[in-house]
Chains A and B, each alone.
Chain A
């Protein structure tokens, strides 16, 4: 029996009919063609499929799509500015070579995004803990941790620069 599901993904509303056994990952990849989110293990033990549901990092492979009804989902596809350029986090991963094969990267960036939303200036150990559910086999994590620290510093700097005169427009966008 298919279930109606209303999803808000990266700001776009979708009305879908979904079989209750399907995961959020399957719906994102197969129905919405948002293939930036990857499946690595399908059991919640690698983090490649990490997306944000209501700003909380979850494994999309374990998340029932029907359970995401009327919730906001954010994926790696949302990590680009309107002009297509990468936002602070992916930009830092590019700059610090915080990736090699790139398969864990979308999930890694979404976990980092959740961390920085709740803790804008984490210590290195906090970054490591926050990313402990995301397995990377290529990098040894050092460049990933450096990427997140750099993004945090950049975002804090940006915050400082924009804070004195918050323009009403940018505020409403946020």
Chain B
């Protein structure tokens, strides 16, 4: 097994290019460890630790965006003043991820690249319409909409590509994060709903709703968003939006953690709750009651 600590994105790309499918990017490393059991297969692996790459670190304002380096951990997000101010939904999702030990190492980039349909951070970033900066040895760095990246299952990046940062558009908004688990903590969502909007009076604008655990990938509830546009936010609207999200947007599957029917029901309840909590408070988060 080979090990590298490149200092720059370009150096990392050369390594990813050189080792192709045998290259593994090490960020938080929480998922990677399982893939590296000793044996011949593992010996071919080139581990590329990207921690020294300053472009991939940090959380700062960049014009109309909050730029979050792919290496930002969930814990760093929850502690960061700018993130709390400009991306409160992402912070709420980060707070509900795993437990302390996981939050201290799990990164934004790792969460996205895992392609996990129940990823807390992916749902929040989807609701932000975040843009992702993807570098590649083959071409210029490109900016990709998070929705496009997350529209396929893992591996979501092509061989030789590196997720450098995500950019979250800054703007006044309300947000809510609703999550249900079997246990009351330290578990991935059965279903989570990340929502944000602007309220003008009680009229909804710029509504974004993302669903975790409601399909084979994290999803945008486009149908519910479209239906909500320009409507007054009240109980009836929220209920109907929940129904639309559950019926038209969710594509839940049955697995050993929950049945599709229950997941669909949770999409409806949690979407309704997320909308209603935005009407009463600018930012909120709830897990299991």
| B47 contacts the other chain (CB 8 A) | yes
Size class of the contact patch on chain B: 20 to 34
Verify if A103 is at the interface (C-beta below 8 Å from B).
Answer: no
- Whether the Cβ atoms of A63 and B29 lie closer than 8 Å is yes
Is A59 in contact with B3, judged by CB distance below 8 angstroms?
Answer: no
Q: Which stretch from B97-105, B136-144, B203-211, B263-271 is at the chain A interface? A: B97-105
List of B residues within 8 angstroms of A72 by Cβ: none
Interface pair B102/A44, CB less than 8 Å apart: yes
Q: How many residues of A contact B (CB 8 A)?
A: 29
Q: Which residues A125-145 have CB closer than 8 A to chain B?
A: 129-130, 132-134
Partner of A129, one of B47, B51, B104, B185: B185
* Segment at the B interface, from A7-15, A50-58, A76-84, A146-154: A50-58
A62–B34 Cα gap in the complex (Å)? Answer: 9
Give chain B's interface residues, CB within 8 Å of chain A.
1-3, 26, 29-30, 32-34, 36-38, 42, 45, 47, 49, 51, 75, 98-102, 104-105, 185-186
* Sample of 29 A–B contacts (CB below 8 Å): A1-B1, A1-B2, A3-B3, A19-B1, A20-B1, A21-B1, A21-B42, A43-B34, A44-B101, A45-B186, A57-B101, A57-B104, A58-B101, A58-B104, A59-B101, A62-B29, A62-B30, A64-B26, A64-B29, A66-B3, A67-B29, A111-B101, A129-B185, A132-B100, A132-B186, A133-B98, A133-B99, A133-B186, A134-B99
B260 → chain A, closest Cβ, in Å? 25
B98 neighbours in A (Cβ, 8 Å):
44, 133
Q: Which of A1, A43, A62, A114 contacts B3 (CB 8 A)?
A: A1
Q: Which 5 A-B pairs have the closest CB atoms?
A: A133-B99, A20-B3, A132-B185, A56-B104, A21-B36
Return chain A residues, CB-CB under 8 Å to B75: 56
- Interface code A29-47, partner B: CB below 8 Å = 1, 0 otherwise? 0000000000000011101
Q: How far is the CA of A133 from the CA of B102 in the complex (A)?
A: 8
Inter-chain CA distance A45–B34, complex, in Å, is 13
Which of A20, A43, A50, A58 counts the most B-chain CB atoms under 10 A from its CB?
A20
A111 and B104 alpha carbons, distance in the complex (Å) = 12
Q: With both chains docked as a complex, state the minimum distance between the C-beta of B199 and any C-beta of chain A, in angstroms.
A: 31
- Given A64-B29, A66-B3, 7 other A-B residues pairs in contact with their CB atoms under 8 A: A20-B3, A21-B45, A56-B75, A59-B102, A64-B47, A67-B26, A132-B99
